[in-house]
Amino acid sequence: MEWNTPLRSIKGVGEKSERLFQKVGVCTVGDMLLYFPRTYEQYPQPGAVSSFREGEAAAVAGELLSPAKTRRTPRIDITQALIRDDEGAQVECIFFRMPYLSSRLRVHERLIFYGKLEKKGRKWTMEQPSFFSEEQYRALLTSYQPVYPLTQGLTSRMIRKVLGQIFDAPAPFAEDEEMLPRRIVERESFLPFLPALRAVHFPHSFEELQNGRDRLVYQEFFSFILQNRMGQKALSGVKNPWTFGDSGEVERVLEKLPYALTDGQKETLAMIRSDLRAPFVSQRLIQGDVGSGKTIVAFLAMVDAAAQGYQAAIMAPTEVLAKQHERTFLELCESSGLDHGVVCLVGSMSAKEKKQARERIKNTPGLLIVGTHALIQDTVEFLDLALVVTDEQHRFGVRQRERLAQKGATPHVLVMSATPIPRTLALILYGNMQLSAIRERPAHRRKIKTCVIREEQRKTAYHWIEKEIEEGRQAYVICPLVEAGEQTEAENVTDYAKKLRKVFRKEIRIKELHGRMPGEEKTKIMEDFAAKHIDILVSTTVVEVGINVPNATVIMIENADSFGLAQLHQLRGRVGRGPWQSYCILMDQSRGVEKNERLDVLNRSDDGFYIAEEDLRLRGPGDFFGIRQSGELNFRLADIIGDAKWLSMAADDVKQLLEDADSKETETEIQKLLERGKTFCGYIL
């Protein structure tokens, strides 16, 4: 079996299930092995209904009161069974497409029913619960159950079945090809690659899960840093071929701005302009807190290049953001009296529009260029590209940035991130890059009022949202999932949007948005929201970047306790962009004190750098259950805050490996590691 073997070749994967797996990006055996659980669940201790809260996964111990009955409808078979717990409370269990349970469930047999406990009127219900004997359930109490990202029709059971067949195949693929230096594997007593994958998908204990995850997390960091350092090495030490004088255009724009730059913006701009005039081609990372005004700094740097007759390009992560940049740049050029052209190139443009844009890029000096990944296509030719800016840099991989940079004759590279991370970790991740930080918020930006609430305050939160909408404003509601997974407590976009339509008046326009939608549909929805055609946007974290709606004044984040603090801070930054007071409502559904302490950090501060440091302090080794990725980089497993130890170690090991690269043997090893690392780490490179 090979890494690229089509998933369809696995027994039990037919045409229908193949389409379901393709929906979540799984097409090959390798894709399946790298489709990691979103989190893990431990089965709770069994008890009576009174032991659990409504809406949570419960394990109710009880017995069947009467024979299960199946009702057949034209669309579906529905089986209903009434159970009674040890305190006399009754729960109606409802099963879909499982008529055979009528003969399997026996009256008065004592079982443990595990599922989501809901109350409909005065009646307790469980839909599609699992059930076990007491002996079977005792065995489950010590295990960790993986929870996978799902789509409608795809279940964790289907995923586990396919994975089981892959791992049990008689001829595992390339097991002897290690993706890490063997001396590191031996030094850290890491599990080999395949056993590590198995431990993450089928852990028998917390220790086994931790060991498997540690190896894969280290491997992600090692591959990323090695690729990053090699890319930086290729771009460093190159003589600056660009001649920059003082045209006065940057100063003209500054004079016309309706506001003054902050000290952080001024300092960062001065550093960039100094880089452009330095003896060697520069690479600089700008870390700017949410709403700190990085875009105007990037524009001024691009104007500095265009004023010399050179081209400057900025690549955005979404079409919506690219088009916003285009409008902003056109307005700034007009208001400042600059005659530089602005051209936008994105994937959704017609063939004719793309051709015209490419012609302008090929032939127009002093051009300001805006686009998405469309800018790195082979058909795009630049004319004297002196500066490349990538916006939201963690959304682009190393190779993508290199490819754009290579389209010019060694341009200066400026990358921007709206997710502040501790400086110590930034230095590790970005190596040879110069770092700049913009900490202050512009004076015209109001502080966002933040509150952490519990379930009993939900109605008050909805009332507040409705009040803002009545005043002409808009709101976001953020959910962790697209669709409900098996026995998950987290709110999900599709179900939540339906629920909100019942809560709010019919006149309030509610629309859902998630990352699995086609790109054109996502763009249309975000544009409609920006144009005030939608009142409440129910979304996953896809809105974390790429949308700027000054009229939105409320963001409500469900299951806030399951997100990293840095990501919550970035999501909060979606509001507070207009002249009105804005609000962030964090829905806390945790039970422990520690998670409340984490959320309280956001309640106390709006300083992204402070929040990142606190996240680093509060998150310890192994604290990865229920923690969403923090938003800094799109790693599959690794989290730069919670896994800072492995990040630091991987950086040291890469440094040592490159220092030893004098010998031909080590050079060969590095090339093999780079090639093999793409298999595991290619999604961010």
Domain interval for residue 64: 45-142
Tell me how many degrees the CA angle 475-476-478 measures, rounded to the nearest 5. 155
Predicted local distance difference test score (pLDDT) of residue 188? 94
CA distance 387 to 297: 13
User: Do 426 and 461 reside in the same domain of the chain?
Assistant: no
Domain endpoint, select from 90, 110, 142: 142
Is there a single domain that holds both residue 284 and residue 393? yes
Q: How much is the pLDDT for 395? A: 46
Instruction: Judge if 501 and 388 occupy the same domain.
Output: no
pLDDT of residue 487: 46
Is residue 455 located within the same domain as residue 366? no
Domain-embedded: residue 648: no
- Domain-embedded: residue 155: no
Q: Which bin fits 631, alpha (ψ -120 to 50), beta or left (φ > 0)?
A: left
Residue 339 in domain: yes
Residues 431 and 461 in one domain: no
**For 210-245, b where at least 16 C-beta lie within 10 A, e where not — what string?**
bbbbbbbbbbbbbbbbbbbbbbbeebeeeebebebe
Give the neighbor-by-neighbor strand order of the sheet with 434-438. 342-345, 368-371, 311-315, 385-390, 412-417, 283-288, 434-438
Beta-bridge mates of residue 119: 124
Is 13 part of any domain?
no
d(CA 65, CA 138): 23
- The CATH number of residue 415's host domain is 3.40.50.300
**Whether residue 331 sits in one domain with residue 434:** yes
Residue 296, token pair as written in the block: 């105007």
* Residue 565 forms part of a structural domain: yes
CA dist 612 → 19, 208, 453 (Å)? 39, 29, 22
Whether 162 and 11 have beta carbons less than 8 Å apart is answered as: no
User: Does residue 359 lie in a domain region?
Assistant: yes
CB 272 within 8 A of CB 414: yes
- Alpha helices (H) along 531-643: 565-572, 593-604, 608-618
Strand (E) positions, 86-161?
Answer: 90-96, 110-120, 123-127, 130-132, 145-147
Check which CATH number belongs to the domain holding 61 and give it. 2.40.50.140
State residue 413's pLDDT score. 87
Structure token digits, residue 36: 């990691």
Task: Give a yes or no: residue 186 inside a domain.
Answer: no
Kindly report the number of other CB atoms within 10 A of residue 155's CB atom. Answer: 15
Tell whether 684 is covered by a domain.
no
Q: Rounded to whole angstroms, how far apart are CA atoms 65 and 4?
A: 52
Residues 478 and 542 in one domain: yes
Tell me the residue type at 379.
T
Report the domain count for the chain. Answer: 3
Calpha distance 66→543 (Å, rounded): 49
Per the listing, tokens 């045209």 go with 247
Taking the C-alpha atoms of residue 211 and residue 198, their distance in angstroms, rounded to an integer, is 11
Q: How far is CA 388 from the centre of its chain?
A: 24
Task: Give 10-residue mean pLDDT values along the chain (685 residues).
Answer: 86 89 89 88 89 87 92 87 94 89 90 91 90 90 82 83 87 62 92 92 90 93 84 73 92 92 94 95 85 90 97 89 91 94 93 95 96 87 92 56 66 82 74 80 81 90 96 93 54 85 94 81 88 94 74 94 81 90 90 65 84 72 46 69 85 86 70 71 45
Whether residues 588 and 476 share a domain: the answer is yes
Residue 653 near residue 184, CB atoms below 8 Å = yes
Q: Is 410 found in the same domain as 542? A: no
Domain boundary among 577, 605, 633: 605
Residues 401, 496 share a domain = no
Give the CA angle between residues 126, 128, 130 to the nearest 5°.
95
* Domain C-terminal end among 605, 635, 651: 605
Do 417 and 501 lie in a common domain?
no
| Cα–Cα distance measured from residue 463 to residue 657, given in angstroms and rounded to the nearest whole number | 59
CA dist., res. 646 & res. 546, Å (int): 31
The Cα-based distances of 525 to 139, 163, 324, 502, 505 in angstroms read 47, 36, 15, 21, 21
Give the integer Cα–Cα distance in Å for 515 and 149: 12
Q: Check whether residue 507 and residue 577 sit in a common domain.
A: yes
Q: Are 426 and 435 in contact (CB under 8 A)?
A: yes
CB 285 within 8 A of CB 417: yes
Distant-in-sequence, close-in-space partners of 18: CB < 8 Å, separation ≥ 6: 7, 8
- In whole angstroms, give the CA distance from residue 268 to residue 254: 14
pTM score, whole prediction: 0.71
